Chains A and B, each alone.
Chain A
Amino acid sequence: EAGVVQSPRYKIIEKKQPVAFWCNPISGHNTLYWYLQNLGQGPELLIRYENEEAVDDSQLPKDRFSAERLKGVDSTLKIQPAELGDSAVYLCASSFGGAGNEQFFGPGTRLTVL
């Protein structure tokens, strides 16, 4: 079974530039998560989707971050414009069903903003 796929794996941009990350979850997983992970820290939830619907985006900085999950499968997370403090690893995870089920994480995209 293929795991969660993310691309790109690494991205280096200058501040104020836009950037986008893509995630393909495990087939059949209706719940998709985007996390941000700073160095030496645990993942922090940015947004959670149930199928196409963003059911928890309370932690997403909506002035510069946006996300979409068209057709309830792949998802894209965008930052525009990027700031120096956005440098981090962006992780995508997926799960099937409710809160008692494990989340499967992708390898992440390491973003460096110069």
Chain B
Amino acid sequence: QQPVQSPQAVILREGEDAVINCSSSKALYSVHWYRQKHGEAPVFLMILLKGGEQKGHEKISASFNEKKQQSSLYLTASQLSYSGTYFCGTGGAGGSNYKLTFGKGTLLTVNP
């Protein structure tokens, strides 16, 4: 089941904040966040695991509500380089935890 991301697109001015949400209908073991610029490879941002462990870049923050099967990515004091499409990938509980199912993405545009 593909996770649902919201919003689909957001436009910011440099320095503004944004929140991108990811919601799943199934129990999750992990949530992975990636950013992809046009024509480039997705770049790892953060992993949030069931139980509270997190791995990722220091300047990126995110939350994982295991009960609600939701995750949010917080982008603060946005920079022009933050522009791109953000994908969440969810890993299910049990034996399916290796398989990531990605959402359709959230297009973030940061303007000067």
Contact = CB atoms under 8 A, between A and B. Distances in A.
Interface residues of B, number: 26
A100 to B, nearest CB: 5
Contact of A41 (B30, B100, B105): B105
Interface residues of A, number: 24
Interface stretch (B38-46, B58-66, B68-76): B38-46
Interface string B23-36: 00000011010100
Contacts of A69: none
Given A42-B87, A42-B104, A43-B87, A102 B99 contact: no
Contacts of A3: 41
A71 to B, nearest CB: 22
Nearest to B46: A102
Contacts, number: 59
A43 B102 contact: yes
Interface string B85-109: 0010101000001111111110000
A99 B103 contact: no
Given A41-B104, A42-B103, A42-B105, A99 B41 contact: no
Interface in A75-113: 91, 98-108
A99 B51 CA distance: 14
B36 to A, nearest CB: 8
Contacts of A56: 98-99
B40 A107 contact: yes
B67 interface: no
Contacts of A19: none
A91 B101 CA distance: 14
Nearest to A91: B41
Interface of A: 3-4, 31, 40-45, 48, 55-56, 91, 98-108
